[in-house]
Structures are given as structure tokens and as C-alpha cells.
Amino acid sequence: MTYRPITYDHVPDAFLKDEVFLRADWLLSDAYGMFGMQPVSGTGGGNWSIALVLLCVVDGISVHVYPTRAVKRQKQRFKRLIREKLHWGPIKKGWCRKEDAIDVFYAEFRNPLVHELAVDKPARARRRDRSITHESAIGKWGSIPEQSQNIDAIDAMTTWNDDWPTLRVEDYEGGKRLKLSCAALYWAVKKMVSALAADR
């Protein structure tokens, strides 16, 4: 396994190059490395940690690169970046509606200790779709078939297979829940950051 760094040396602004894109690349490299870790007995597989790291990258990029502080509230910046720049597939292939996914990313996955405590309401996507009866979940691979569950191969992909949704509704314990794929989110966030670094 070899992480492929983002290309950002050409970025003329020293702060963006040496602080924002460098640090985003560090975090993406950490997320990449977590895919190869084996869970210790009785612990999780690192899925929540991967999702948190990736959404921290989104948060930081939304402040310093796009749409930046031109949009006043952080929540609006975060959502606008995802809406306008993050790869998303069609609903007919099992993808959750993008507007609903944005809300779930912000309210349920971005900081679950703050947003998903018992005193908080579920994200709008779950409130609106009454068929979703369980809390959202995170898996390392999601819909990616077993033979393709290789982070090095995922990292090398130039286009995403839209048969592998980033966020989808799945059957669960007699009801339904939203399920996030860490691998799909990793690919999409890295692709987005790379594209923004290349945009002069």
C-alpha cells in the first residue's frame, strides 16, 4: 500500500500550500492508513474515525479554499462545498438524495458527540423519510464488492463506479437505516481536494 499524495506544490499562496493543502494531505494519508489497520478484539474497525477525519478535511477546505469566509456561517460553507464540489451519483443507482446526504454528513457524522446526543434531533433526512427507523451507520466498504475492497486500488481510481453509493438506504433489523461507505467518501473527498488544488 502506497498513498498517492495530492499535488499542491504549484499553489502560489503560501498559506494555502503550506498549511491548508499540506494538512489536508496529512489527514487524507491518515484516513488511507486506517483502512489497513486490523481492529483489536472488542473494538471498532475505525469507521467512525475515518469518517470524522474526512469530514474535518471538508470543514477546513470550506473555510480556506471554497467557498471560504465569503459565506458567513460554517454550516452553510460546509454544505455548499459538498453540494457544489463533491462527487455524487444518481438516486436510481441507490444513492441517497444529495441534499439529504449533506444534512446527514453535517448533523450525524461530522461531530456525533455534539449533534447526535439524545437531546438532539436526527438529521432532516431521517425525520422526513419515515421508512428510516434506525440511526445512521458507517461501514468501511459499503456496496463495494469484496474483490474490489482494496484502498490502494480505490486511491488509484480516476473515476468512481456509481454502483457503489457513498450514502444509501439499507434494510436493517426489520426497518431501514442510512449507511455511509468510508471508502467512497475517502475517494470523493480526495478527488475534490485534488481538483480544488489544481484550480488556479
Q: Give residue-wise pLDDT tens across range 150-182.
A: 999 999 999 999 999 999 999 998 888 999 999
- Give the orientation angle of helix 182-198 with respect to helix 47-64, to 10 degrees: 20
Mean pLDDT of the 66-76 span: 85
Mean pLDDT of the 81-110 span: 94
- Report the percentage of the chain scoring pLDDT > 70: 86
pTM for the full predicted model: 0.90
- Report the percentage of the chain scoring pLDDT > 90: 67
Return the C-alpha cell found at 123: 438529521
Report yes or no: 137 and 177 within 8 Å, Cβ to Cβ.
yes
Report yes or no: 169 and 131 within 8 Å, Cβ to Cβ.
yes
Q: Between these two residues, 26 and 74, which has the higher pLDDT value?
A: 26
Q: Residue 117 has what pLDDT?
A: 47
Q: Where are the alpha helices (DSSP H) in the chain?
A: 14-15, 22-34, 47-64, 74-85, 98-104, 112-115, 124-128, 151-156, 182-198
